Amino acid sequence: MSRQYFGVEALSLTAAQRAVLVAALKLLGRDNRAPQPSHRNHWRVRLDGQAVIFEANWNTDEWTVAGLGNRLATLFGVSPALVTFATAQTVYGPTATYTYSGTNRLRLIAFGGLLATWAESHDAVTAYLAANSAAWESAV
Amino acid sequence: MTPTAPGGGPAIPVYEAADDARVSGGPVIPVYGYVGTPTDGRRLQGGAAMPVRVLTAADLQQNGGRYRLEGRPVAMPIYAARTGQGRMGGPAQLVYPISPWSFYAAKVAAIASSNLIAYWPLWEASGTVATDIGGSALNGAYTGVTLGQQGIGDGRTSPLFDGANDYCNIYSAALAAAFNGAEGTFVSWFKVANAGVWTDGAFHSICRLQADASNQIVIDKSSTNNVLRMIYTAGGTQKISTPSNSSTGFLCVAMTWSKSADQMIPYVNGVATQAALTGLGVWAGALAATTTTLGASSTVPALVWSGYLAHFVLCNAALPQPSIAQLATV
C-alpha cells in the first residue's frame, strides 16, 4: 500500500472512453471509507478535462503499467496485447505512454516515482502543477 | 481552569446540569440541558423557557462526549458546566462544546452570534463533514484534507490542505439563501505549510464566495511574493487590498463589507490593512455551487491552499473593528 499522486492524460480518447476510464479510476483506492479524507481517493481535473491527478492510499497493484494497459484494452474492446506502451523518465516522475492501432492514447505518470513516499510524490506533483499552471489553474 | 466571561458581563456561577440545580447569583437565567439522560430535558431554573435543544447521543458522540448546548434565538455561552465552576457571559446564538478547549468558539458566540450565518471551526478529527456550529447546520464537505493537524492555539485542531487537490466545499442552497452580498463579515485563520508558499509564484485560495466573476469575495495568497489578496467584487466593481505578509505562523484575516455604509475593510490580525475602500457596487446573484469553497477557488479544485485553515466565521453584517480585533486573538 502506498499513498501518492498519479496522473493520467488522455491523448486520443473519445469523450465517452475518457468518461468510462475516469469513472473506473475514481473507484480505485483501498481506504475510500477511511476517517481521514486524505486517505480516500480524490482527484483534480485539468481545465480542458483531458487529464486528472489522483491521490489516495492505493493497493500496490492498482497503478501498474500493465494494469492500466488492460483497462485501456477493455475500453477499445481489444486484446491487451494490442495495447503497447513506452516508458520514459521526466523530472516529475516516470511515465508510460500507451499506444493502440498506431496512435498514442493515454499517458500515465507516477509523481515522484513508483516507490515514492507521499512527501516525495507531493513535492513532485506541486512542482508539476506550478510549472503547468496555465493548464491547471482557472482565472483568478 | 479559570474560564472567563466572553460577553463582558459579570460572572454568574453555574452548577452542573446533572445536579439539576438552579443558577444562583445575579438574574435568573432559564437553561435547559442535561447530559447523560438527554431526554430528561430538565431545566435549571423556571421562568420563561429559552428554546434550547437538549443534547442527543449523536451530539455527544460527535463532540467526544463533551457537553453541547444549542440556543436559538437567545442563549448564554456556558463554560465548563461539567465541573460546576463555569460562568456565563453575554447573549449568544451558537452551538458549541462546553469544554476548556472551546474558549475561542465561545468568543465567536459572544461577539458574532446575532449576525452569524455560519461558523465552521474545521476542528473535526475525522470524516468528511465540516460542521457548521452556528446553529443552521450549513455543513461543508471535506475532500482530501488531512484532519487533526496543528490548531491556532485554542487546543483544537485544523486541517492541512496539500496545495494540489484538497478543498472544502461549503456550498448549500441554504447558505446561498442566507448569504448577504451587500452586508457581511468573513473571518478566518490560516497558516502556510512552509515559508516557500509565500514565494512560490502561485495563487493559493483561502476562500472564495462567488456568484460569478462580477460578484465574489476572495481571500487568497497572490502569485506575487509575500502578498495576500482580499477582494470584494459586486456588480463588476472590484475593491482589492493586497497587504504584504510572510508570516509562517497562524494569522487571522477578515473582511467586512457594507453597501449601506459604502465600505469594504480588510483586516489582518485585527488591524485594518488600509483605509476603508469605498464606491462599492451592487451585489447580484446567488452563490454558485462550484465556487463557494474553502481552501480552493473551486471544486475543480483550482488555486488550492497549501497549509492550514481554521475557524471560518461568516456574518450577515459588517462587524466593527473592536469585534474583529477580539476575533483575531485566541
Q: What was the ipTM of the complex prediction?
A: 0.94
pLDDT at position A138, please?
Answer: 81
Stretch among A37-51, A75-89, A109-123, B100-114 having the lowest mean pLDDT:
B100-114
B166 and A CB contact within 8 Å: yes
Q: Which residue of A has its CA nearest to B222?
A: A140
A125 chain-B contacts, CB cut-off 8 A: 164
CA neighbours closer than 13 Å in the CB half-sphere of residue B203 = 23
Confidence of residue B307 (pLDDT cuts 50, 70, 90): very high
A129 chain-B contacts, CB cut-off 8 A: 163-164, 202
Of B88, B42, B99, B41, whose CA–CA distance to B65 is shortest?
A: B99
- N residues, chain B: 330
**pLDDT exceeds cutoff 90 at B149:** yes
B180 and A CB contact within 8 Å: no
A92 and B CB contact within 8 Å: no
pLDDT at position B102, please?
Answer: 60
B306 and A CB contact within 8 Å: yes
Who has greater pLDDT, B156 or B168?
A: B168
Mean pLDDT calculated for residue range B171-186: 98
Mean pLDDT calculated for residue range B292-321: 97
Mean pLDDT calculated for residue range B137-148: 97
Ranked by mean pLDDT, the top range of A53-62, B69-78, B221-230 is: B221-230
Report the residue from B142, B148, B162 with minimal CB separation from A122: B162
Residue linked to cell 479524507: A37
B164 contacts A5? CB cut-off 8 A = yes
Q: Which residue of A has its CA nearest to B128?
A: A37
Amino acid at B265: I
Mean pLDDT calculated for residue range A125-133: 95
Q: Strand runs (DSSP E) across A2-82, as ranges?
A: 2-10, 42-45, 51-58
B143 contacts A42? CB cut-off 8 A = yes
**pLDDT exceeds cutoff 80 at A14:** yes
Percent of chain B scored above 70 by pLDDT? 69
B301 and A CB contact within 8 Å: yes
**pLDDT exceeds cutoff 90 at A51:** yes
**pLDDT exceeds cutoff 90 at A2:** no
pTM of the predicted structure, to 2 decimals: 0.79
The answer to whether A23 and A43 are in contact (CB under 8 A) is no
A37 and B CB contact within 8 Å: yes
Q: Strand runs (DSSP E) across chain B, as ranges?
A: 52-53, 67-71, 95-98, 116-120, 129-130, 140-143, 146-149, 158-162, 167-169, 183-192, 204-212, 215-221, 228-234, 237-241, 251-258, 263-268, 271-272, 292-294, 306-315
Quote the mean pLDDT of chain A.
Answer: 94
B300 contacts A37? CB cut-off 8 A = no
DSSP assignments along A22-40, one per residue: HHHHTT--S-TT-SSGGGS
**pLDDT exceeds cutoff 80 at A34:** yes
Stretch among B3-7, B118-122, B155-159, B160-164 having the lowest mean pLDDT:
B3-7
**pLDDT exceeds cutoff 90 at B325:** yes
Q: Which of B126, B161, B162 to mutate to test the interface with A (most CBs of A within 10 A)?
A: B162
Mean pLDDT calculated for residue range A105-116: 95
pLDDT at position B301, please?
Answer: 96
Q: Is B97 helix (H, G, I), strand (E, B) or coil?
A: strand
CB atoms within 10 A of CB B280: 23
B325 and A CB contact within 8 Å: no
Distance between start and end Cα atoms, chain B: 16
Quote the mean pLDDT of chain B.
Answer: 78
Pull the grid cell for residue A74: 477493455
The answer to whether B228 and B240 are in contact (CB under 8 A) is no
Who has greater pLDDT, B230 or A76?
A: B230
Number of A–B residue contacts, CB under 8 Å: 78
**pLDDT exceeds cutoff 50 at B308:** yes
**pLDDT exceeds cutoff 90 at B16:** no
B200 and A CB contact within 8 Å: yes
Mean pLDDT calculated for residue range A51-74: 92
- pLDDT for B232-268, tens place per residue? 999 999 999 999 999 999 999 999 999 999 999 999 9
Amino acid at B4: T
Pull the grid cell for residue B264: 469594504
Pull the grid cell for residue B101: 478547549
pLDDT at position A1, please?
Answer: 61
pLDDT at position A76, please?
Answer: 87
**pLDDT exceeds cutoff 70 at B290:** yes
B305 chain-A contacts, CB cut-off 8 A: none
- pLDDT for B66-111, tens place per residue? 333 443 333 333 333 332 223 333 333 333 444 434 678 888 988 9
- pLDDT for B25-63, tens place per residue? 444 343 444 333 333 333 333 333 333 344 443 443 333
Q: Which of B143, B165, B197, B208 to mutate to test the interface with A (most CBs of A within 10 A)?
A: B165
β-pairing, B228-234 with B237-241? antiparallel
- Distances in whole angstroms, Cα of residue B256 to Cα of each of B5, B44, B145, B307: 26, 39, 28, 24
Mean pLDDT calculated for residue range A52-81: 92
Mean pLDDT calculated for residue range A78-87: 95
